[in-house]
Structure 1
Amino acid sequence: SYLGAAIFVILGGVPFSALVVLFVNFVIQVPIAIALGFDKPSPGLMERKPRPLTQPVLSRSQWIRLIFTGFLIALGTLTIEATFEPISTPVAATMGFVVFSLFNVVMGLSARSETNTVFDIENLSDRRQLGLYGLALVMTILGTELGLFQRILGTVELSGRQWLLCIVFAVALLLIDEVVKFFMRRRRQSKPDVTVQELQLA
């Protein structure tokens, strides 16, 4: 985001203020990280084929997916900021903060499984997990609507349409990731799966 903002001179090359960065890192992302860290293991995890010791932590396809997702997040954030900067710099900066935070929430939900859909009933039935993601969402709202946070972060109150636009961008990112997951499931289903039991029998 910073590189794109500097190249295209969006918000003076600074898409987020230092305090907004700290707020996102410690108030928005920490509950999401806790949720992911204490999430239930994936079904059938112990039956999967062991990874070779020489295999890197992230495969090439995983790196490509991460870079692609990061590009979309930066593109969405900067697009909103560039669109609203001529109208109001504080509004543009606030919308950038909101959409980036919403991107974190939806991708945190999606990251619970590399291939399974986020709309799985098991994902939606864990109240503790949903509570942590809900906390991140509530803090995003308070960061723009509460006077104390407005003074600290330099944010302003957004209109309903502006909130709706940020939500649409976040949902669009989630749907794109769901499409990627769909093709990943198709690809894995087309490959023979070797379980631990089969390896032991061999």
Structure 2
Amino acid sequence: MRRATVLLLALIELGRHHFDSVGTGRSIAFTAFALCLIVAAFECRSETDSVLTTSTFDSRQMNWVALTQFVLAVPVTQLDGFRRILGTTRIDARQFGWALLAALALLLLWEAGKFLARRIRNA
């Protein structure tokens, strides 16, 4: 959990230094958090099995929830109503890409950990 916190704080700093706005950084981090929750939901289904298989998506309900969460990750920074409620700011596609990159990094790190767990278990 500490790694995720560090990652989100780094995204806030990215917003502050690269985009000259703490609000933009918070919005990127908020979006990244929402996307990372999707990664975590799928990764937590097994302690050692990779999510990079078709069996990962065998739960119809889980797939709908993940899709809904992904679809809602966009309007929280684009629609005025959501921005007022959640205190976010509008981010562009490049900034959204940073949020996606964070979720991808989490996926890759989690998969690396599972790979090591499988190797240790089979040794």
| TM-score, scaled to structure 2 | 0.90
Residue 44 of structure 2: aligned partner: 111
For 1:128 and 1:116, the matched residues in 2 are separated by 20
Where is the helix percentage greater, Structure 1 or Structure 2?
A: 2
Shift of 1:170: 0.9
Q: Which has the larger displacement, 107-116 or 80-89?
A: 80-89
For 1:119 and 1:175, the matched residues in 2 are separated by 10
Q: Which of the residues 12, 27, 31 maps onto 1:81?
A: 12
Contact 2:48 2:117 in 1 (8 A): yes
- One-letter amino acid of the counterpart of residue 109, structure 1: F
Report % sequence identity. 28
Shift of 1:180: 0.5
Matched, 1:144 2:77: yes
> Unpaired segments of 5 or more residues in structure 1?
1-69, 191-202
> Computing the radius of gyration over CA atoms, which structure comes out larger, 1 or 2?
1
**Runs of 4+ that moved beyond 6 A:** none
For 2:25 and 2:112, the matched residues in 1 are separated by 29
Q: Mapping of 1:24-173 within 5 angstroms? A: 70-86=1-17, 87-173=20-106
1:64-88 Cα deviation digits (max 9, x unpaired): xxxxxx1210111000101212411
For 2:75 and 2:92, the matched residues in 1 are separated by 14
Contact 2:15 2:22 in 1 (8 A): yes
Q: Please report the RMSD computed on the Cα atoms of aligned residues, expressed in angstroms.
A: 1.3
> Unpaired segments of 5 or more residues in structure 2?
none
| TM-score, scaled to structure 1 | 0.57
For 2:33 and 2:65, the matched residues in 1 are separated by 17
